[in-house]
Amino acid sequence: MEDLLTQMEQCTSVQACIELAIMDAYGEDEQAAGWQACLETIFEGIEQACVLGKEVSLEGFDIAGGCSVVAICRKGNKTAKVTPDSLEFPKATKAQSLWFKAWRERSRA
């Protein structure tokens, strides 16, 4: 059986990413957990991101409010949980960019 990263890298559309992230998920809380697992997997090893144009350290992803996935970012001694609308990954690969686009679209739904 293929590992999650391999399956994620084979996605060629936003819809395919969304379907993989929420596969076998019942309810919004399980969908959020699916997204968190996918984002942690695809962005593993990415340490830098930008929030509102400022470079920050990407610490990981978390679930906020029970059903929304947020990125945990650090700048100096301050940590913040940010939504995808305020986040950028300037050095993202093609697969990471596609997954980020899917996450943004799903977050707006």
pLDDT value at position 1?
46
d(CA 96, CA 59): 16
> Looking at residue 47, what is its pLDDT?
92
Q: Into how many domains does the chain fold?
A: 1
b/e map of 19-58 (b: 16 or more CB within 10 Å)? ebbbeeeeeeeebbbbbbebbeebbeeeeebbbeeeebeb
For residue 22, give its domain range. 4-108
pLDDT band at residue 90 using 50, 70 and 90 as cut-offs = very high
Any idea which residue has 């993989």 for tokens? 20
Sorting pLDDT into bands at 50, 70 and 90, what band is 33? very high
Res 22 pLDDT > 70 = yes
* Alpha-carbon gap, residue 34 to 61, rounded angstroms: 12
φ/ψ of 47, rounded to 5, equals -105, -20
Q: 3-state DSSP call for residue 60?
A: strand
Whole-number Å distance between alpha carbons of 80 and 77: 10
Residue type, 6: T
* Listed range (51-55, 56-60, 63-67) with the worst mean pLDDT: 63-67
